[in-house]
Amino acid sequence: MKRLIIIASAGLVLSVSAQESRGLSKPGKIFFPVKRDTTEVQKAAEPVQASHMEQPSIPPDVPVKQDEATQPPPDPEFVNVDLNIPRLDAPNPDAIAVIIGNRDYTNPDVPDVEYASADAKTMRQYAVSMLGFSNENIIFIENAKKSDFELIFGNREVHQGKLYNWIKSGRSDVFVYYSGHGAPDLSSGKAYFMPVDSDPNYIRIGGYPLDVFYANLAKIPARSMTVVLDACFSGGSQSGMIIRQASPMFIEVEMPLLGGPGALLASSSGDQISSWYPKTGHSLFTYYFLLGLRGEADTDRDKRITLSEMSAFLGERVPYSARRLYGREQIPVVQGDPGKVLVAY
């Protein structure tokens, strides 16, 4: 059975059925809760249309709730995640990765994403050193245009993009990472990636639709898939509003069935903003995700990082650091099989 992991970022709020909102799941679909304030969970508890397919869908988002009594202290000395990256002897010659960092936007009204390029470059190093990807099997792009998105992932009419053609059916593990802006279409509430040459006020024309991204990934016959999205889709950003004269939106995104049990890690939810962590040279979420991969998330010290462990690690570190640094909420979201191993040492 094909397995799919999605690790996403800010502004995604997935609809959940009444059954799922009670922590139940359909046969073959694994759901586990990540802590969150109940007021936020109520916002996400809207029904989603069922599919005729028998494949399990990606479970609903369940943002984290901080236990005030167990809040971790701030990092006394941060770890430089760009140095001394563990190198594991676990080559994966058929694995294919797509890594995109969109930092520099051509529209003068759109703020740059300060650490997107650094995030992407370091993620490429981790993909090679820790996840076993070969450099020649990594599609790496800085400042991707809309044409780049369509070339790699296809479009609504043609789903066979470069990623589809690079994989070996049933043998390739796929890893997709994106750091950059996302934006909503204010009329429809749909979410879009923001290519560097796009105008957020005309995002339906110049953006790359998130639903097309998910739908086309679902058609790729990979052995497994991991998707990491470090982006806001609310219309806000660390540097200010992307859409002029607008307030951050609470975006509700319907997820298609993706063909297998899956998982999602998101840096924030609703109208929250994905924060930066300047002293680390990375975004807050990506920094802690990389730190977790290095072993900090391995709470039972069995030399394996499971999705459950990463969920607990991010759920402690990200919300606390966002409040301490900026006085605002940034609540990670986790979905999927809690026992899924993200990396083994």
Region 334-339: what's the mean pLDDT? 77
Q: In 10 A of CB 24, how many CB atoms? A: 11
Quick one: pLDDT at residue 301? 96
Q: What is the pLDDT of residues 181-198, one digit of tens each?
A: 888 887 887 889 999 999
Residues 35/64, Cβ–Cβ less than 8 Å: yes
Q: Which of 51-60, 160-169, 300-309: highest mean pLDDT?
A: 160-169
Using a cut of 0.85, tell me whether the model's pTM lies above it. no
pLDDT band (50, 70, 90) for residue 267: confident
CATH architecture for the domain at 4-344: 3-Layer(aba) Sandwich (3.40)
Q: Over 50: is that where the pLDDT of 17 sits?
A: no
Q: Over 60: is that where the pLDDT of 214 sits?
A: yes
Q: In what order do the strands lie in the sheet with 224-230?
A: 138-142, 96-101, 173-179, 224-230, 3-7, 262-266, 333-335
Q: Which of 43-47, 119-123, 219-223, 331-335: highest mean pLDDT?
A: 119-123
CA distances from 241 to 234, 236, 270 (A): 9, 4, 15
* Tokens 């998130």 sit on residue: 210
CA angle 86, 90, 92 (to 5 degrees): 120
Quick one: pLDDT at residue 121? 98
Quick one: pLDDT at residue 252? 55
Domain residue spans in the chain?
A: 4-344
Residues 276/115, Cβ–Cβ less than 8 Å: yes
Q: What is the pLDDT of residues 22-66, one digit of tens each?
A: 332 333 333 333 444 434 333 333 333 333 333 333 444 444 444
Instruction: Give the number of residues written for the chain.
Output: 345
